[in-house]
């Protein structure tokens, strides 16, 4: 055995190490044993196989939407996955980092081979055409059925509902599949789930280096992502910063892998970090950041206080804080002297901040009352941002995923413009988030497309996610297009069928209780997933789908990766149980509706994957043009049995499929660096910004204000950033603001994206449940008032719902604020209506504001110690196994 371990680990082990290793092995076996009949257990024979070099390391999908995107590999021996690892394809260095994954990715085999996989098609016991007893949805028993029966139900119900109520009565969540499109389409939804108000604002106020066509349905979704890609300098330049001010950013949780690693390089190079956040998060800990606490959804107030400090303390000679040269040349609307044509000179940002006309100076004291940050800390932050320091002024999207944050991106950029941290080495301003974190610039390598033609969705109806459930209950909604930000138009709507595709919409959308009401009202609900998500539990028909490990191969979420690499994955295991791919289910449904496979998918999965590989492209040595990535020979094409033409690239097909990663090798002074807005800063007249009317950064943006105000949700005040007390924000937590008497829901709750899961993916996996608990973070002073101790079960409650979690009592969160990490799997007790899992959307309100923002990051709740049956730790709870 010692010899075996030596061979596996490649090193001599002393007795202590050996005992540790064997204990870990035993625990691993025990855990795997709970994974059910198909759990992949590494036994001695398999271990021997590893030692003998048998088996193959296969690039395996890390299939979910966290901010990492990392290499994942599975060791398959005799068809059994016995190990996982991440990028070890080359030496790791800050210049050429490995794309290393985290515990979540490395637990993927526990997801794929989990005992709680959906194994067979099933229907609700009391289902019948039209719904049967609809009130039983979410609490009925399940009956296993054949795929034949499942397809018959799916096709006949879809047809019946389309014929009776029209195609727009079908709500497709994460679809529509091609059959549904062919049949006439379906209603969908849009939202600003990820980027909050950054989705739109930068594209209209000039803070994007190109114009994105917002008029194209759906385009805004991608446009939003790029607000974190194209406005920040690249990773090597981040090391030139003296100070990095992070506003609401926690890459250590939300963008593990390279983004976090790049920030660490800046730390090593000597940058000082400042974290502006309601929570002293793990990124602040890792970077040893100074903390400037701010209440959730109060960044508008805070930054106005910063602007006031800058204006009132600046002296170009003795105390130069403001970069007047940049402001005057590159922006409009800052002061009366730099207004757009036709605008009232009194309507300028500076006079608003100073209170020239409304007699309310937005000074640090004014701000402090609203955002909770000490006035001195606000002034300190302003001085730290001063123009003669090299500063990265960066944020995540969390502070914009809140009510009345429509002007936040504009204000954020205004502060960056005032201090001149735009367009120069060591200076940058804007959101730096998700996979693009810490590494701005256009991609240097791109994955390819399947080449499948897109079948248009003939229905244009599209809800805003935030008030979708109440709108369905009312039968009316405000149509504003599909990420098109159109003037609002009231429409009648009668949803009678919900088709859940590759999302978990009931769980991830605001106001779960009204979502449940909707699910118990419509005639038919179907869900297609590989695990019993909340959306599946409230369906009538559940279809087991394959995970990415069971498909032929592909590029999961590949169009969103960091700029230097692409990842591909191959088939790891044949489909488990009776699971089918989304495509097979689509064809099964379509054939019963009278469409042929040809009409739905002109060619098969192998050809699709081949096309993706063949159309990957990569930057050439000139640093400008792109050419094919993969070398493909005639022999490859013959071996695959696909249509294609040989081509010359940078990596052979064989090597790419073996490694699963292609990474552009970079060096600090190569020709691939990126300084956002560099040319614009040098000569704004010669390089006008294509994303604003004036070609400059619009501190005053008429187009943006008009667009938002026409949408028909709530209005913003002015074309420049002004303060509006956020709905369900701090000020609303008072019954009486003047006397500071608190209301019934005195605490602000927000939802950070959490280590244990990627949204709801992985939340069911025992390994990660064991590694990460399911906390509610609460300040020690608040906890004491309520007699709440660490680990106590607490109830989080408001007018929308009630949910339970275990308290983590800490000084790391501001008083009056609690943090309820996003994405846990709801488990509603039908007797009490209380969710015993701590689902965030139980307490998120459905109020759409301004540009249609999903506002998760300030809701008002009350917290009490829960006197009912306390929670059992998640890791000890039984898995949700249906068959």
Ligand X SMILES: Nc1nc2c(c(=O)[nH]1)N[C@H]1C(S)=C(S)[C@@H](COP(=O)(O)OP(=O)(O)OC[C@H]3O[C@@H](n4cnc5c(=O)[nH]c(N)nc54)[C@H](O)[C@@H]3O)O[C@H]1N2
Bond before 525 cis per omega within 30 degrees: no
396 binds, among Mo ion, ligand X, none (CB under 5 to 8 A by kind): ligand X
Of 410, 457, 505, 853, the residue at the interface with ligand X (CB under 6 A) is 505
CA distance 189 to 849: 16
Per DSSP (E only), the strands in 237-356 are: 243-247, 272-276, 290-292, 331-332
Binding partner of 67, given Mo ion, ligand X, none, CB within 5-8 angstroms per partner class: ligand X
- The structure tokens listed for 440 are 């701005």
Binding mask 183-202 for ligand X (x = CB under 6 A): ----------xx--------
Q: Which does 672 bind (CB under 5 to 8 A by kind): ligand X, Mo ion, none?
A: none
Q: Which is nearer to ligand X, 82 or 755 (CB)?
A: 755
Cα–Cα distances (Å) from 113 to 55, 223, 529, 549, 574, in that order, read 18, 36, 14, 10, 12
Nearer to ligand X, 249 or 716 (CB): 249
Nearer to ligand X, 582 or 693 (CB): 582
CA-based nearest residue to 189, from 467, 404, 502: 467
**Residue among 208 and 435 whose Cβ is closer to ligand X:** 435
Under rule CB under 5 A, residue 194 binds Mo ion: yes
Of 179, 368, 508, 568, the residue at the interface with ligand X (CB under 6 A) is 508
Residues 234-263 that bind ligand X (CB under 6 A): 247-250, 253-255
How would you write 76-142 as a 3-class SS string?
EECCEEEEEECCCCCCCCCCCCCCCCCHHHHCHHHHHCCCCCCCCCEEECCCCCCCCCHHHCCCCCE
Where does this chain touch Mo ion (CB under 5 A) — which range of 186-194, 338-346, 760-768, 840-848?
186-194
User: How many whole angstroms separate alpha carbon 609 and alpha carbon 449?
Assistant: 8
**592 interacts with, out of ligand X, Mo ion, none, CB within 5 to 8 A per kind:** none
Per CB under 6 A, 753 contacts ligand X: yes
Q: How far is CA 63 from CA 76, 108, 109, 502, 531, in A?
A: 18, 8, 11, 11, 14
Taking a C-beta distance cutoff of 8 angstroms, is the pair 396, 254 a contact? yes
10 by Cβ neighbours in 10 Å (0-12 / 13-18 / 19+) ranks as exposed
Cβ proximity to ligand X, 531 vs 807, nearer residue: 531
119 binds ligand X (CB under 6 A): no
Q: How far is the CB of 880 from ligand X (least distance, A)?
A: 13
Q: Is 617 in the site for Mo ion (CB under 5 A)?
A: no
Cα 519 to Cα 491, 505, 688, 803: the distances in Å are 21, 11, 50, 20
Q: How far is the CB of 116 from ligand X (least distance, A)?
A: 11
Strands 734-736 and 617-619: unpaired
Which range touches ligand X (CB under 6 A), out of 466-474, 528-536, 598-606, 830-838? 528-536
- Does position 545 interact with ligand X (CB under 6 A)? The reply is yes
Nearer to ligand X, 22 or 732 (CB): 732
The C-alpha atoms of residue 81 and residue 58 are separated, in whole angstroms, by 10
Which has the closest alpha carbon to 778: 754, 795, 799, 753? 795
725, with CB counted inside 10 A (0-12, 13-18, 19+), is middle
Stretch of residues binding Mo ion (CB under 5 A), selected from 192-200, 222-230, 235-243, 660-668: 192-200
691 contact choice in Mo ion, ligand X, none (CB below 5 to 8 Å, kind-dependent): none
Closer residue to Mo ion in complex, CB, 220/553: 220
Picked from Mo ion, ligand X, none, the partner binding residue 505 (CB below 5 to 8 A depending on kind) is ligand X
Provide, rounded to whole angstroms, the least separation between the CB of residue 675 and Mo ion: 27
Q: Among Mo ion, ligand X, none, what binds residue 450 when CB lies within 5 to 8 Å by partner kind?
A: none
**Using the rule CB under 6 A, is 514 a contact of ligand X?**
no
Say if residues 132 and 790 touch (Cβ distance below 8 Å).
Answer: no
Nearest distance in Å: CB 374, ligand X: 15
* Distance (Å) of CA 103 to CA 39, 65, 525, 772: 18, 15, 34, 10
Residue 840 contact, options ligand X, Mo ion, none, Cβ 5-8 Å cut-off depending on partner type: ligand X
**Pick from 305, 726, 801, 823: which binds ligand X (CB under 6 A)?**
823
760 binds Mo ion (CB under 5 A): no
- Which two structure tokens, joined as six digits, stand for 473? 């209950």
**Cα of 786 vs its chain's centroid, Å:** 33
Residue number with CB closer to Mo ion (73 or 434): 434
Query: Residue 661: in which H helix or E strand, if any?
Result: strand 661-663
Examine residue 399 and tell whether it contacts ligand X (CB under 6 A). yes
**3-state secondary structure string, 324-389?**
HHHHHHHEECCCHHHCCCCCCCCCCHHHHHHCCCCCCCCCHHHHHHHHCCCHHHHHHHHHHCCCCC
The answer to whether residues 797 and 728 touch, using CB atoms and an 8 Å cutoff, is no
Q: Which residue stretch of 65-73, 350-358, 438-446, 786-794 sits at the interface with ligand X (rule: CB under 6 A)?
A: 65-73
272 binds ligand X (CB under 6 A): no
Does 66 help bind ligand X (rule: CB under 6 A)?
yes
- Work out whether 63 is an interface residue with ligand X (CB under 6 A): yes
Closest to ligand X by CB, 673 or 850? 850
Rounded to an integer, what distance in angstroms lies between the CA atom of residue 295 and that of residue 302? 9
Query: Minimum Å distance from CB 193 to Mo ion?
Result: 5
| Rounded-to-integer distance, Cα 192 and Cα 251, Å | 20
Count the residues of the shown chain that bind Mo ion, applying the rule CB under 5 A.
1
Please, which residue, 348 or 573, has the CB nearer to ligand X?
573
CB of 844 to Mo ion, least distance (A): 15
- Residue closest to Mo ion (Cβ): 194
Residues 427-446 interacting with ligand X (rule: CB under 6 A): 433-434
Binding site for Mo ion (CB under 5 A): 194
Binding site for ligand X (CB under 6 A): 63-67, 193-194, 247-250, 253-255, 276-279, 281, 294, 296-297, 299, 396-399, 402, 433-434, 501-505, 508, 528-531, 533, 545, 582, 750-755, 757-761, 822-823, 840-841, 844, 856-857
């Amino acid at each position: 055995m010692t010899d075996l371990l030596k061979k596996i680990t490649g090193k001599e082990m002393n007795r202590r190490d050996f005992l540790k290793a064997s204990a870990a092995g035993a625990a691993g076996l025990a855990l795997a044993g709970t994974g059910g009949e198909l759990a992949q257990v590494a036994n001695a024979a398999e271990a021997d196989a590893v030692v003998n070099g048998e088996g193959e390391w296969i690039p395996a999908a890390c299939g979910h939407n966290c901010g990492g995107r990392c290499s994942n590999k599975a060791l398959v021996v005799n068809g059994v996955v016995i190990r996982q690892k991440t990028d070890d394809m080359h030496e790791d260095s800050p210049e050429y980092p490995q794309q290393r994954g985290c515990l979540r990715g490395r637990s993927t085999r526990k997801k794929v081979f989990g005992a709680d996989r959906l194994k067979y098609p099933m229907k609700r016991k009391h289902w019948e055409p039209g719904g049967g007893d609809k009130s039983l949805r979410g609490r009925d028993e399940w009956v296993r059925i054949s795929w034949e029966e499942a397809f018959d139900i799916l096709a006949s119900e879809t047809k019946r509902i389309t014929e009776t109520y029209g195609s727009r009565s079908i709500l497709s969540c994460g679809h529509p599949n091609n059959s549904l499109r062919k049949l006439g389409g379906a209603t969908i939804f849009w939202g600003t789930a990820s980027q909050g108000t950054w989705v739109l604002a930068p594209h209209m106020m000039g803070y994007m280096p190109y114009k994105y066509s917002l008029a194209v349905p759906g385009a805004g979704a991608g446009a939003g992502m790029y607000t974190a890609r194209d406005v920040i300098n690249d990773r090597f330049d981040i090391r030139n910063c003296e100070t990095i001010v992070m506003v609401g950013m926690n890459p250590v949780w939300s963008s593990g892998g390279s983004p976090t690693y790049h920030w660490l390089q800046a730390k090593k190079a000597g940058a000082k970090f400042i974290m502006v956040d309601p929570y002293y998060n793990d990124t602040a800990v890792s970077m040893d950041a100074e903390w400037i606490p701010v209440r959730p959804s109060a960044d508008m107030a805070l930054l106005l206080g910063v602007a006031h400090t800058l204006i009132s303390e600046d002296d170009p000679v003795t105390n130069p804080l403001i970069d007047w040269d940049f402001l005057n040349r590159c922006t409009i609307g800052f002061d009366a002297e730099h207004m757009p044509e036709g605008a009232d000179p009194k309507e300028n940002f500076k006079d608003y901040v100073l209170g020239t006309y409304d007699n309310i100076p937005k000074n640090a004291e004014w701000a402090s009352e609203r955002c909770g940050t000490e006035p001195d800390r606000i002034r300190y932050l302003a001085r730290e941002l001063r123009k003669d320091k090299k500063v990265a002024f960066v944020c995540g999207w969390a502070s914009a995923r809140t009510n009345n944050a429509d002007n936040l991106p504009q204000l954020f950029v205004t502060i960056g413009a005032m201090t001149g941290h735009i367009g120069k080495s060591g200076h940058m301003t804007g959101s730096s988030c998700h996979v693009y974190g810490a590494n701005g610039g256009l991609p240097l390598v791109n994955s390819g497309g399947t080449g499948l033609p897109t079948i248009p969705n003939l229905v244009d109806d599209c809800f805003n996610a935030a008030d979708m459930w109440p709108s369905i209950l009312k039968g009316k909604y405000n149509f504003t297009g599909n990420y098109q930000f159109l003037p609002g138009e009231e429409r009648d709507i009668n949803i009678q069928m919900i088709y859940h595709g590759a999302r978990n919409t009931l769980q991830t959308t605001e106001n779960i209780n009204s979502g449940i009401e909707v699910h118990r009202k419509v005639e038919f609900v179907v869900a297609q997933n590989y695990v019993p998500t909340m959306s599946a539990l409230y369906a009538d028909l559940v279809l087991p789908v394959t995970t990415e490990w069971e498909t032929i191969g592909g590029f999961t979420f590949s169009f969103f990766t960091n700029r230097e690499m692409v990842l591909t994955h191959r088939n790891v295991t044949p489909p488990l149980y009776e699971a089918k791919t989304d495509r097979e289910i689509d064809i099964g449904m379509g054939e019963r509706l009278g469409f042929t496979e040809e009409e739905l998918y002109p060619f098969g999965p192998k050809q699709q994957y081949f096309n993706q590989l063949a159309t990957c492209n990569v930057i050439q040595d000139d640093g400008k043009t792109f050419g094919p990535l993969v070398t493909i020979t005639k022999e490859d094409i013959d071996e695959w049995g696909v249509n294609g033409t040989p081509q010359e690239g940078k990596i052979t097909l064989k090597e790419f499929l073996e490694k699963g990663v292609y990474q552009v090798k970079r060096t600090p002074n190569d020709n691939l660096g990126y300084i956002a807005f560099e040319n614009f800063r040098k000569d704004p007249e010669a390089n006008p910004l294509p994303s604003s009317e004036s070609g400059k950064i619009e501190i005053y943006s008429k187009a943006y204000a008009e667009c938002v105000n026409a949408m028909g949700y709530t209005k913003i005040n002015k074309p420049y950033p002004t303060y509006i007390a956020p709905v369900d924000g701090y000020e609303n937590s008072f019954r009486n603001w003047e006397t500071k008497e608190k209301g019934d829901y005195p605490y602000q709750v927000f939802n950070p994206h959490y280590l244990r899961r990627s949204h709801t993916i992985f939340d069911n996996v025992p390994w990660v449940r064991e590694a990460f608990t399911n906390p509610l973070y609460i300040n020690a002073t608040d906890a004491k008032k309520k007699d709440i101790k660490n680990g106590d079960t607490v109830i989080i409650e408001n007018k929308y719902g009630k949910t339970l979690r275990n308290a983590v009592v800490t000084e790391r969160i501001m008083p009056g604020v609690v943090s309820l990490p996003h994405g846990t799997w709801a488990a509603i007790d039908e007797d009490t209506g209380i969710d015993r899992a701590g689902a965030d959307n139980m307490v998120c309100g459905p109020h759409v504001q301004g540009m249609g923002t999903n506002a998760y990051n300030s809701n008002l709740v009350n917290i009490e110690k829960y006197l009912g049956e306390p929670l059992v730790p998640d890791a000890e709870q039984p898995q949700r196994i249906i068959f």
